[in-house]
Structures are given as C-alpha cells and as structure tokens.
Structure 1
Amino acid sequence: MTFLEQQDFPRFQPRVLARLMKSILVGGILSTTPLVSLALASDVTTAETESLEVISVKGSYSRSLERAVDLKKSNTGFSDSIVATDVADFPEQNLAEALQRMPGVTIERNKGLGSKVNVRSLPTEFTHVSINNLATASGSGGRDVEFDIFASEIIQSVTVQKSPSAADEEGGIAGSVQISTARPFDYSDSKFILSAEGAHNSISKEIDPKLSLLASDTFGDWGALVSFSTSQRTNRTDSNSGINFRPMGRFLEASGARSAQAITVLERDAGVTVNDRLDKNETNRIIFQDKVGDRVYLNDQDKWGATASLQYKPSNTFSLTFDAMLGGYKAVEDEYDAAAYTASSRSTLETIHDYDDTTLAEYGIVVLTDVSYTATQHEFLSKERINDTDFTQYSLALDWQLQGWDINALVGYSGADKTLDYANLKHVAYASSRSRWTANGGETLASAGFDMYSSPESYLFEAYETELENVTDDKYAAQLDFKKALELGFLPALSSVQFGVRYTDKSKERQFGATKIQGPTAGSSEWVNTRTMADSQLQLVTDIVPGGNYQPKDLNWMQISNDYARNTFRYSGFSVPFNAKDYYRVDEEVLSLYAMANMDFDLAGKPVFLNAGVRAVDTSVLSFGYHQIQNADGSTGFTTEPISKEGSYNELLPSLNMTMEVLDDVLVRAAASETLMRPALTNIAYKRSVSWNSFRFTDGNPDLKPTYAKQWELGVEWYLENGGLLAASYFWKDIEGVVRQELTGTVPNVEKLNANGSLDGYYEFDVYQPVNAEGSYKVTGLELIAQLPLSRLHPVLDGFGINANYTILDNTLTGSSDLDIPTPPEGLADTTWNFTFYYENESFDARISYNYKDKYVEVIERSLYPVYRDAYGQTDIALGYKLNDNIKLSLKAINVTDEATKGYTLTPAFPVINEYSGRRISLGLRADF
C-alpha cells in the first residue's frame, strides 16, 4: 500500500470533456465559420503512411539516405528521417547517439554516453517523443525521454517533425521525435537478421558484448515479427571536477569568530571590504572554491530490448496491428571521490594567496583563486548508484479504408518503473589546506604536515548514507481519426478533410526514503569518530576499477570498494524505509479534438499543397503529496501533512503547412503554428524538498501552465538524383511562459544539523517555486543540409558522398540568475553541425563522421552562476566489408581522438570539470537471410 492509499485524497473525476466542449463553443469551432477555413495538416502519421523495406546487409548506407530523403519530400511539414541501416550501422551506443546524425539534432552526454536529445539546440524538455504514435514514458521527472534505456538495433525508423500539424498528439516547441518499430508487412518476404559485436574501451580495458536479432514472416493474411537486442557496457571515466563557485555567505553568515576572521582576511589579503555580512547581494559576489575533487567512475550497464508485432492484413484496405516493446536497463555506477570540501562548517579563510577582481568585474564578482583554509573537510567518498528501469509499451492500431473513408484507431499503454538505489560511504578528516584553480580544474596542496591522499588513519567514519527511490510512470491513450477524400465541384481544391479525438491519462508516482548507518546495528552510532578509514580494507583506486592510470593528472590514492562497503556496513535486516514527506503523485488527463483539411491547387502555374487545421486541447491535473509546515507552537520543527490541489488549462492550437514545387524537384516549404510543451511532472508535484547546503526549500506548483510558442518557418529544398539533397530553412519562434525557479518566500530559524548530528546553526531558508516567467523570448535560426553523392561532380568519385548539416541560433531567451547575469537557458547551444564523408561499393563501405555542439549552460548553480559545458566535437568511424551476399564484417570506433569533456563557470578561466571517458573500438559480424 502506498502512502496515497492510506490517505483520504479526493478522487480524480474526469471532467475534461465538459470544459473542452465549452472552450470549443467559446472559441468558435462550432460557429458558422466553415470547418475548412479552420482546418489543418498532414496524415495521422507521417513516417508510417508508406511501407518501409528495412535496409539490411544487402542494402547500403546511400540507400538508407535515399529512403530518408523520400520521406522528407513526401512529408507535409518540415522533417528529417533516418531508417534501418542509418539507425543501426553507425557506432552508436544507444538511440540518442543514432539520432545525432540528423539535421538540427544534438545530444547531451553523461560520462561519454549520449543520454538526452536536443532538437535545434533547444533544451531537451522542449522535445516531444513518441514510439509507434504513443507518447513515451521513461521514468524521468520531466517530459524528456531518457534515450539511454533504448537499444537502437530494435528501431526501424525515426522522423523528427519540426513543424507540427493538428493531428499530432503534441507538437513540441523544438520538435517531435517519432520512433517506429518494424512490422512484418514492412518486408516483401521472410527475414532473419543476426548480429554480434564486441567493443573495447580504452580506459577500462574491458570488452563488452552486444547481440541483436530480428525474425519476420508472413502467413497469408497474417504476419509476425520479433526483434531482440542485448548488450553490456563497462565504461570508466576519470574526472577532476566539483570546482564550483561558493558564495562567501557560507563563512560570513556564521556567528562568532568564523565570520569575523573571514572579514579580516578579505580586507587584509584582497582589499575587499564587507559592508553587510548578511546581505546576499553583496556576499554572493565574493567567490571561493566549494570543493576540489578527483573522481573515478566505473559504469556497468546491462541493457536489453525487444519488440513484437502481430499483424492481420487481409487486404490493402484493412490492417490490424498489435505492437509490443519491452526493455530493461540496469546501470551500476561506482564513484570513488577524494575531495577537499573547503566550505566545511568548521572552516573559514586563513590566507588569500591570489584573487581575481577583473575577469568578472562587470558583475561585481571577486574570485578568490588560491586560498588557505583553517579547517577543510577532507573527504573520501565511496558512492554507488544503481539504476534499474523496466520499460513496457503495448498498442493496438487499426487502419481501415471504407467507402472513401480512411479510419485509423489506436489504443495503447506506455509505462516505466524505475528504482534508484544510492549509497555513500563517507570518511572525513579536518585539517588546514590550500586549494586553488588550475588550467583544467583544481588541486589541493599538502599543508601543515597533512597529505590528504596518503593519511587513511586520519580519516574518521562519519556515515554510510543510503537512499532508495521508486518512480512509476504510466500513460494510457486512445485515439480515433477519420479522413475523407473529396471531389467537390464547387471547391475542387479541397482534396480531403480529416478530424479526430485523442484521450490520454498519465500518472507519475514517486516514493523516496533515506537513512544513515552509523553503527553495526539499527540506531547505533558506535562507529562515528571511532572507526577510521584504515580499519577497512583499502585498495588503490586504479586497482578497484579496471584500466590504467588516472587520466587528468599523475595521482593515485587508496579507497574502500563499494562491494566491501555494502557487505560490511549494511547490517543484517537493514532496509531503507520510504518517507511519507517525500511522497508525491501527479495525475494528468488530456482530451484533444482536431480538424484539418488538405488542399491541392495551382498558384501562378505551380502546384501547391496546403494543409491547415486546429487542435483544441483541455488538460486537468491533480497533484498530491505531503507538505511540511512549521509547528504551530513556534518551535523549529516541522509537521508533515497530506495535501492536494487541482489545476487545469485549455488551448486552441492552429497550424499551417504548405509546399510549392517552383521547379522540377525544387520545393518551397512554409509552416506556421502555435504549440505547447507541458511542465515537468516534478515541477507540478505538490511537495517540498530541501537543500541543506543551499539553505533552500523547493516547492512544487500545480498551477503551472505549459510553455507556449508561436512559430513559423520558410525553406527551399532541391532534390537531386540518387538521394541527393540541398536544403536551407529559416525558422522563428516566439516562446512565452518559460518555467523558472523564483523566490516566493522565506522560512526563519530553520535548524540545520551537520552530517554527524551536531548542530550547525539556525538559518533563514529561502523558498523557491517553479513559475511561468512573464514576457516572451525570440529564437531564430538557420538550418542548412547538404546530402550529396559526389558522382554528380565527376564519375571518378562514384561511391563517394557527403551528408552534412549546420544549425545556428540567435535568441533572446535567457536563463534565471538571481544576480542578473545574462545567460541562455540550460541546454541551448548557438551552433551545432554534423559532417559525414562516406565511400561504398558492392563489398566495402567506410564512413567518418564529426559531430560538433557549441558551448551551452548545463546548470545555473544556486540560481546564481551559469555553469557551461564547453564546446565539444567528436569523431566516429565505421568500416564494413561484405564477406558474401549475406554476411558483413564491421569495424567501428567512437571518439577516436579521445576528446575530453570540459566545463567552466561563466568563463574558461574558472574550470569546473576535466573529464575523460576514452575511445571505444568495436568489431561486429552481421548475417542477413
């Protein structure tokens, strides 16, 4: 029984239909205005309107590009696609990395692995994702999808729809990623494909296996298909990181000698006079290093995915298809961290050796770049993160042509169940230290006879911290669409009308618990300040994890392995209970009605296709959880009580897509629409969380509205022979209602404890909530595509080709900094480009690809300082050789130049991360029968 079931929360009664009909009447959809004048757009599905023959070993990369170009040309709006071989034949590690080859698509990487997708460099939460026309759950807290849980080998095609139509479930402000899995009647005959691969990582030195298969056949009116992929990945990442900005309020707000000494040292060594030690606007502009850490990560992944499709197709006018997609993803990440936490509760400034008051002078910021501290908390942390996600999706689709009507129906379910298990074994030693920035990160120097890396007997056990989180993400959907071809004598241009209805019911439930072990039995604190690090089994960190030397610098240290920690410190019968105060659940119901029309006519002697329509969307939200309120008697404690709240909104979203063939194979394409992106479910959740280090409460906000965009795009596309394409488009977006974290109140006299349970002090905590920011922001961009077989230039270049794209943005969209530091929003990069050069003949193919993403803001630390992920470019290579008509050998390499991931706060003068994940080489064999 969940915490919700134990409470008398109001039941969520569907009421969206009544409100939607009211909004339709008010909006005038049922007025005397003809439906045609309001109507929109394209077919129900764009990538699925035609059967796709899967490109196999008998095909080629150029054939897959040709098929993708055909889809782009026939689609109503702006879009790009990849199919079969293009998805599976690059050296990607998951679906996100397969998508990065597409125009305008980049990815966010986490320790060398693509995890989230950006379309046109906009933040990931602006992208809508669906699989087989069903919006996808992945267990994340937002609307974004965690692509690293999906195997690319089981995907048939992907279309990124950049201009929405009324028939789309959601348009997505950046775009909509529409993923399709294979069906048996996609093939002209029976098919069996088997591939095996082994991949080697240059740092971990491990070899990881991957196995995939697909089997499909038809039996008269029936067809069946199954596919399966399983893989393991062991990746090591070495990182000199954690060198964040920390405002001087950490010391100045402390009582007694700590603040007095900090004031004295600031004036003595840096000439900085503190006027009001409690004025955050002043203290937030005096910066020191929060922590300097050297870290080694080992990430072990086991991933599997499977699809099944059962199709009944007695004729070309009727088909009934059941699709299933299942998957499992388990990642165990070990982190071994040796760090100097300069901002400890015992410490303050001792000596400022160097400072910088010029680099960030325009913001009034002084950075203390080289400082000795009185009592740094030196830490050895052995952290273990286990992510176990199960994914399930089922859908039943009907396609029926009946007496001039095209009828399409869909019912489906998408769900993800994620369990996150976290543990942190912490040993600390307090001593004076000197920490400073270096060219690539930071370092801590030995001082006062104490070397933090070689004194395990000085480190005392503080706690073995554990957390357990379970997230259940479910979505049910039903859709019914009707399309009618017309031949009207009084309006011959109107070729067809289409209308439909869609209902979705989405629910996200989260349970969380945390506890600390400080002794050999429950409630015991026997080990605190008595057990030392030397009392445990120690190993060199480079022996605990496979591979060679620590990459960022010449350094090694002793650490306690996570296997030893789990076996030693978790006493018999230990478990992590869920806490009521951390529970929340969000239910969301959406009902949409749409109508659209297609028109074919000539304009100035040129054929024109016009698609126009409108979607009416009505949404109800119910959020419930537990709220922490200060005790009524005025004491500093808090009482937890259940609470719930409803929210709602409705919108009319018009759209228009048009193409004109101005010359043979030269299209001018135009689109305009209004669209939305719903707020993250974690932001809607009615809950309060706390960040003790930031002195902050964060509340949810069920009254959040979506982020809206008005957008238009104009482009020209020249379709050449053999899949060639030259295209350029200019897009414009006006975005309003961007979700920001905003200070909405304060809570005085909050008791804050140290990790060992001692009193740190009483502080005033800020209360932040996500809100829809006022005003609107402009984003404009240019996208260029060149897909060119070079045989067009000269016959000697037969077999050579390029596939390149370039996207550049100009925007007024800003992130939220309480210091009014101008910054783009998180995830937005100004420039991205991809370039692939390939060669192929009957038996051999080779491709080299370079992907580049400009710098972008990764996080706005403490809502004050933008932290940038530096510009990153990666080179990948794929080679293939056909041993015979059925078997192909491949050699692939990821990040062949071994690029490092770097980041900085505000300017590269203050680096925060220097991270190495290595290169990956794989050898594979693929058989196709």
Structure 2
Amino acid sequence: MTILPTQINFLFWVTIADVLAADAIGKLPDRNAAEAIQRLPAVSIERDMGEGRFAAVRGTPIQWSSSTLNGNRMPSASGDYANRGLQMDIFPSELIQYVKLSKSLTPDMDGNAIGGTIDFITKTAVNKETLSVNAAGGYVNQSQSPSYNASVVYGNKITDKFKFISSAVIWNRDTGIDNFQMVYDFNNQNYTKSFGINQLQLRDYIAERRTLGFNGALEYEFNSKNKIYFKGLYSQYLDQQKVRETYFNINTKNVQLQARHADYLTDLYSLNFGGEHQLTGKLKMDWALIKSRSGFEFNSPKNLPDSERGYPIVTFRQNMTYGNLSADGIKYLAMDAPDHTGDSPDVVLPHNLNDMDASKTYLYQTIISRNKNTERDYRAQFNFDFKLNDHVNFKAGGKFIDKAKEFNSAIYVWMPSALLGIPGSKPLVYLNQLQTEGFPYNGGFLNPLHNPYNNVLINQITNGQIDQMFTADYISTNGLYNVQGANTPSNIAASYSGTENVYASYIMGTFRLGEHFNIIGGFRNEYNVTNFKGNSIVQNGNTISTEPVEKENRYNAFLPMVNLKYSLNHNTIIRAAFNRSFARPDFGDLNPGLQINDALQTIT
C-alpha cells in the first residue's frame, strides 16, 4: 500500500498555493522541515548525508526562495554557505502545524522571493486539553548504531480567556557513509590524457546528529474583539562528524591520509509578541514585534578555549609508486585508456606497489578552520484590513526590519619545520608514534563491494590525538611552524560584519466580480539600506598593510502584483498571476573586504 501525503489546495484562494497539513506530515517519517515539504509540487531539496537540508522552488537557487516562520523570513546562519538560504535540518517537523507554499505573491508578503515563499506555521494555542506523545527507534546498519526520536505536545485552556500549547522534540541518529571517487585531469589539453585519473579518494564518514526543538504559544483574549498572543521557538542542531580519508595521488606519486572531526553547532530561536483587534465593524488591525536569531560555529577541539575552536584537520603523507598504468604512464579506467589498461568503473583500485606503512607515513600538515557567524533580526509590523462589503476588501500595512550579520572566518595552517628546510628543525613525526585505532570502522569499508580496499587501509589516529596536536605544547615540542595565521591576508579579508534595514509598505485590494471571477492586486515597496564593514589588505612582497573599509548601499524595490482566479465550472478553476519580486545580495557578496597582491598582480 502506498500512503500519499494530504495535499490541500484551498480553492477559495486566489493565489497559486499548496498546503501541507500536520496530519500529512505525520504519516511519513519526515524528520525535518526540508523533508516535510519535498512532496509539494515544484519543490526540490538538497541533501547532506541523506538528510534534507535546503529547499528550492521552481529550480531557482536556494537563496531565491523565501523560507518564513509564521510569515517572517528566518535568519540563515550556517556553516556551509554565507547566503540567505535557510538550513532546514535545524527545524524538526513535529513543531509544524502546516506548511504553505506560495508560488505567486500578494503585496502583504515579503517581496524577496523570486522562486516562491515556503511559510512554516507553528502550533498555536488550543481551546481544549490536548496531549500527544510519540516515540520511535531504529537501527542504522551502516554505522552500526541505534537511532531514536521522541516528541510531546501538551495544550490546554486555563480560563475562558487564557490558553496555551507547548511541544518538545528530540531526534538522535547516526549516519555512516563510505565512498570512493576520482579526480580527473580534465585541464589537460590532450583529449585522451584529460581522462587520466590524478587522484583516487577513499572517504569514510561517521556522523552523530542530534536535533532538539521547543515550541510554545500563549493567547489571551480580552473580549471578542481584542486578543494578544506570544509564540516562541528554539531549535538546536548538533552534527558531530568523524571523517577519515585516503588520497592516492597517482600523478605526484604519494598517498595522503586526512583525519578530521568537528562539532557543527547551529541554533535558532524566534520570539513573537502580537495582537489582533476589531476596531470597528469593518476595520481590523493586527500587529507584531519579533526578535529572532540564528548562530553557527565549529566547536572543536574541546581542550582549546572557545575563541580558538574550529574544525581540526590533520594530514599525513607517504611516498608511493603505482602500477596498472597505461603505456603512457597514466592511470585510466579501462574504457578510457589508449591500450585498455585500467579498472572497471565499478571498483577502482590504487594498485600501489608499496605497502602502506605507519612508520613511513609522516605528519605533513595540521589545519584548523574557524567559522563563527550569527544573524539577528528585529521586526515590527502592522496590518489594517477594511471590509467594504462582501465583494470588496482592502488591506494595507508596513514592516520594519533591522538585521545584524557577523561573520568570522579564518584558516590556520602549521607544517613541520623540517619540511620547510628550517635549520635546527625537530625530527618529523610519524603515524606509528601517535595514538591510533582500528580502521576501517564498523566492520569494513564499502562492504557491499566486498571490502576491496581493506588491504590498502591502515589504522588511523584517534579524535583525542587530533585534539592534542593543536595545543601550544604539542606545536612547540614537535617544531610545527605556522605558515598561515591571523595576519594572513586571506584571513583578514574573510571576516566582516554589517547591518541591513528594510522599510516596507503595501496596499492591496481583493475584488469579487460576480460568482466566478476574483482579483487580488496591489503594490509593495521595500526600501533597503545595507552597511557592511570589512578590511582592505595590500600585500607587496613581505609587507602587508591593512585598513578598515566600510560600504553603504541603498536601493528600492517597487513590486506590483496581481492574482486572478476564474471558476470555469464546479470542477475547473483557472488561476493566473503577475508578480514582480527580487533577491537581496548574499551576505558574502556584501563583504567589502579587498585583498590586493602587487607581486602577483591580483585583486580578490
């Protein structure tokens, strides 16, 4: 039996929209917001380790679609991008009452939504006692670990005027991924040699992921014409990754081991206080004050101070020679090789002629990537709704948004002094001198292919050993030299901060022309002011000069919109729409930082 989600098309809507209700979300095991909406028409999602992360509408870039929470765009701090796309795996599906996908806009909606708007409506206060408890568990064979999730929802009416609802969610799971992939020499001008394999990569990922979510709503009704409400949401996403990679560099005749692990920590909260008022028999007003914030950071190693944590990476190298090469000395797949010497694409082996040996595998480089960024929003909005009669309705309102963005990013690199030729250097560190653990993990690497790589894999260093290698004592004792640090031009130019203010207003009308024809039309105007600060760096040989730089931009977006609906008969409805919308620049594009290298004649 195939269970299909409940997709509701509200026929009285003039706009082109689809809705996914809570009962539909609950029928299928969709654990986050991205997976909950992937079944709606025109929605596609991007995945990370099999889980939905970003959503796009109509094939547009993810930042061209607006993801909103109760009608307001959510902050979008994440580790992978500096754009405006929302990382939806932070948002558990159990907190959602329903989702509305608007493929055409109306003037009372934010205008920065070229692809469309995905609006997540959280659970609201209830009129009677409600209790729902769910729990589930499972087992992930690839990572050989259990998974579980649980949620509880409780709401009640305390008095005739005061009611509430609260919910909490936890979802814990492990993910394991093994894969091999190849890097081809596609830049080679010789067509045949461009299919040569420069590098064979073996990658092993283990990730423990935990999602926490809390939602609450309060509502107080003074009388039948006036009420106020509060909505609050907090969600946290912790992704603890453990990655071990082996790179067989055929063209440079070496093999590189890369060990890395980190905690990706993302959180989001939103606080919404508002009210609804019936001012006269025909005039209504609603208003809201909102604060929301999203933050991301790499949070490893734990033995370092918070300011020094990031994503630690350690690499080792061993010289290597390779066999099963074509007559021209290049590694190909058999179907690409001039003499048909090579492997099948189903399993590509390195054919190394020397054994992997921990006593010959030396420490080559240690790297820590630091990334901490936040996005904070203050919003104030109001709407007036005037019902002239049963056929004509007018609406007008305004919104002010004060957004603050701070992005701090830097990459630090150390290398053994001996590899740099520095006199009096400490001896190289070899893998067999460090704390290691059995590898491959969880019983094998690429088990479905019958473990073809087990004879070319060796034990790897532990996470604890990785953490130890970034302490000041270890760096000093083993003669590691900092080749990229805080004052490196690329690091100085990477970080920035700024503000974005939006002043929006709109007016619209809804007209019912007879029994069959409806029109919504109007205008929206959004005036935008951005002010971002960064650094300008000029590098001339070993001389580096730095000065702060600030850039302000002002632009206006005038957005006419019209939606038409014609009921041809009981079974046929025709809709059409004309919208003008826009996409604001990505935050990375607003960074005024500049790096000029006079020696290389480059500007970045």
Query: Given the two structures, how large is their TM-score scaled by the length of structure 1?
Result: 0.56
* CA 1:528–1:685: 2 relative to 1, 3 Å: farther
Q: Please, which of 564, 569, 574 is the counterpart of residue 658 of structure 1?
A: 564
Which region of structure 1 is more displaced relative to structure 2, 301-310 or 198-207? 198-207
Partner residue of 1:156 out of 89, 97, 110: 97
1:101 equivalent in alignment to 2:39: yes
2: CA distance, partners of 1:119 / 1:439:
38
Whether contact under 8 Å (1:474, 1:507) holds in the other structure is: yes
Question: How many pairs does the alignment contain?
Answer: 552
5+ residue gaps, structure 2? 299-309, 326-330, 334-342, 476-484
Out of 37, 43, 61, the position equivalent to 1:123 is: 61
- Counterpart Cα distance in 1 of 2:494 and 2:213: 32
Preserved CA contact (<8 Å) 1:460 1:528: no
List gaps (5 residues or longer) in structure 1. Answer: 1-60, 250-265, 273-285, 343-372, 689-698, 700-745, 751-763, 769-929
Name the structure 2 match of 1:43.
Answer: none
**Contact 1:425 1:565 (C-alpha < 8 Å) held by counterparts:** no
Deviation at 1:669, TM superposition (A): 1.2
1:427 and 2:316 equivalent? yes
**Could you tell me which of 153, 160, 177 is aligned with 1:237?**
177
Q: Find the aligned partners of 2:120 and 2:408 in 1 and give their Cα distance.
A: 30
Structure 1 442/423 Cα, relative in aligned 2: closer, same or farther at 3 Å?
farther
Give, in whole Å, the separation in 1 of the partners of 2:19 and 2:184.
Answer: 40
> Which SS does the other structure have where 2:39 is aligned?
coil
Query: Does residue 554 of the first structure (1) align with residue 459 of the second (2)?
Result: no
Is 1:308 the counterpart of 2:212 in the alignment?
A: no
> Which digits, 9 at most, give the CA deviation of each residue in 1:288-327, with x for residues without a partner?
5453200010111121010011111244433211100001
Partner letter of residue 332 of structure 1? Q
**1:538 alignment partner, one of 423, 436, 442:** 436
State the Cα deviation string for residues 1-42 of structure 1 (Å, max 9, x = none): xxxxxxxxxxxxxxxxxxxxxxxxxxxxxxxxxxxxxxxxxx
Partners in 2 of 1:628 and 1:546 — Cα distance? Answer: 50
**Structure 2 residue aligned with 1:87:** 25
In the alignment, which residue of structure 2 is the partner of 1:446?
351
Contact 1:581–1:640 (Cα < 8 Å) also in 2: no
Secondary structure class of the residue paired with 1:72? coil
Contact 1:246/1:289 (<8 A) preserved = no
Tell whether 2:89 aligns with 1:178. Answer: no
The partner residue of 1:671 within 577, 596, 604 is 577
Whether the 8 Å contact between 1:241 and 1:441 is mirrored in structure 2 is no
CA distance in 2 between partners of 1:574 and 1:477 (Å): 48
Instruction: State the Cα distance separating 1:205 from its structure 2 match.
Output: 2.1
- Determine which of 642, 654, 657 is the counterpart of 2:548: 642
Q: How far apart are 1:193 and its partner, in Å?
A: 0.6
Q: Distance in 1 between matches of 2:184 and 2:36?
A: 33
Matched, 1:609 2:518: yes
Q: Is 1:201 aligned with 2:140?
A: yes
Q: What's 1:497 paired with?
A: 394
Match of 2:273 among 396, 400, 407: 396
Change (3 A) 1:271 1:244: closer
Measured in 1, the distance between the counterparts of 2:49 and 2:241 equals 11
Alignment partner of 2:24: what SS? helix
Alignment partner, residue 462 of structure 1: 364
- Counterpart position of 2:307: none
Deviations 1:167-204 (A, max 9, x none): 0013511110000101113xx42101111111222311
Higher relative contact order (CA 8 A, sep 6+): 1
Task: Tell me if the contact between 2:16 and 2:104 (Cα under 8 Å) persists in the aligned partners.
Answer: yes
% same residue: 18
Contact 1:392 1:415 (8 Å CA) reproduced: yes
Equivalent residues of 1:203, 1:547 under 8 A apart: no
Cα distance between partner residues in 1 of 2:415 and 2:131 = 56
2:536 is aligned to 627
- Within 1, Cα distance between the matches of 2:75 and 2:583? 15
Q: Indicate if the aligned counterparts of 2:248 and 2:255 stay in contact, CA closer than 8 A.
A: yes
State the 1:607 CA deviation: 2.0
- Cα shift at 1:747: 5.0
Find 1:482's aligned residue among 376, 384, 403: 384
Matched, 1:563 2:459: no
Deviations 1:774-820 (A, max 9, x none): xxxxxxxxxxxxxxxxxxxxxxxxxxxxxxxxxxxxxxxxxxxxxxx
Deviations 1:243-284 (A, max 9, x none): 2555249xxxxxxxxxxxxxxxx6xxx899xxxxxxxxxxxx
Is 1:414 matched with 2:292?
Answer: yes
Runs of 4 or more above 6 Å deviation: 523-529, 573-578
Give the Cα–Cα distance (whole angstroms) in 2 for the partners of residues 477 and 524 of structure 1. 57
CA drift at 1:414: 1.4
Q: Are the equivalent residues in 1 in contact too, given 2:486–2:492 (CA < 8 A)? A: no
Where 2:183 maps in the other structure, the secondary structure is coil
Native 8 Å contact 1:291 1:339 kept in 2: yes
**Partner-residue secondary structure (3-state), 2:359:** helix
Q: Secondary structure at the residue paired with 1:445?
A: coil
Residue aligned with 1:456, SS: coil
For 1:414 and 1:547, locate their aligned partners in 2 and report how far apart those are by CA, in whole Å.
Answer: 45
- The offset of 1:624, in angstroms, is 1.1
SS of the aligned residue for 1:125 comes to helix
Q: Which moved more, 1:663-672 or 1:150-159?
A: 663-672
**Partner AA of 1:530 in structure 2:** L
Q: Distance in 1 between matches of 2:550 and 2:386?
A: 45
The superposition leaves residues 754-777 of structure 1 with CA deviations (integer Å, 9 ceiling, x where unpaired) of xxxxxxxxxx65x46xxxxxxxxx
CA spacing shift, 1:528–1:213, aligned 2, 3 Å: farther
> For the structure 1 residues 583 and 500, does the alpha-carbon distance in structure 2 shift closer, same or farther, using more than 3 Å as the test?
same
